[in-house]
Structure 1
Amino acid sequence: MLASDFELLLQRALHTPQPDLFDKPLPQIFKNFDQAESRVRQGGPVNNELHFAFEKIRLGVATALMQIFTDLGGGEVSEKVLEVLKRAAKATSINQIDAIIQKENKVFEKLFQDLYTNTEGELILDLFARTLEADSRREMEQIVKEILQALQNLEFPDEEDDL
């Protein structure tokens, strides 16, 4: 996955050229991930630094997907999930991320219960579920590519239609 794809996804999904999602600037989040992964590839130990950096990437992708789902008309539950993800993205440790997510676990369960959605919504929720399960750069790269491709074809409700 390229930093540019990650940044483009967040910019498009969050509707801003400078997403203020994390506790650090967006380019730094991806740089931290790249550096931690590079150290492991060079024989360094797999440690919390790599896990934390990957969790930040995962949270970024998950937040982008939930924003897209909310924009498609996901409703109150998706807005709550989005709030939780944004709080977790500001965390400064894996323990903080886990505490935020575990405290609000029921809202994630509710997202998938009794949910009626259209084909576009189903696609986004499938990508969201895959993001939560992803455990490698390759998987995240594939998911990001699929999201960017889907964004070209999604039809968002026009705010003027609501007037």
Structure 2
Amino acid sequence: MRCPKCGSSQDKVIDSREAREGHAIRRRRECMKCDFRFTTYEIVEREELRVVKRNGARENFNRDKLLGGVRKSCEKRPVKMEQLEQLVDDIANELEEEGYREIPSTVIGAKVMRRLEAIDHVAYVRYASVYRQFEDVGEFIDEIKSLGERSPRDGRQPELFR
């Protein structure tokens, strides 16, 4: 490691510990030349996961883009940011464990919908409307009805459709 202050490559590790829930190692280092202390992180290098879009275009998997979409579907809903970050982390880890090098965006969307349904039904319907490209109100109604059939109704929530 090069010292960020003087550029020397001579340093020693003062302290090492686990970071980011075991996915990284945090190292405190000290430059042997100027005594400057700095922190580095060591992570496992992963192969780039490529997402195949509906139009056939390919792009690198972007965790932040996925989080942004999920966050948008949960706007003004009682869902904590920690839940959303955990949802995205779980999906990213699942994709890595499954060993995909390329994955259709539809597979990722289905994974998001399955998890959102368990967290918040309104966020689920919002996400589904974009993911499934709803064209009219009837598709919203059909999705809400099928959601009601799959999930027990909360007595505190008024019935939307009869």
TM range (shorter): under 0.3
What TM-score do the two structures reach when normalised by structure 1?
A: 0.27
Structure scoring higher RCO (CA < 8 A, sep ≥ 6) equals 1
Q: Which has the larger radius of gyration?
A: 2
Greater strand share, 1 or 2? Answer: 2
What TM-score do the two structures reach when normalised by structure 2?
A: 0.27
Greater helix share, 1 or 2? Answer: 1
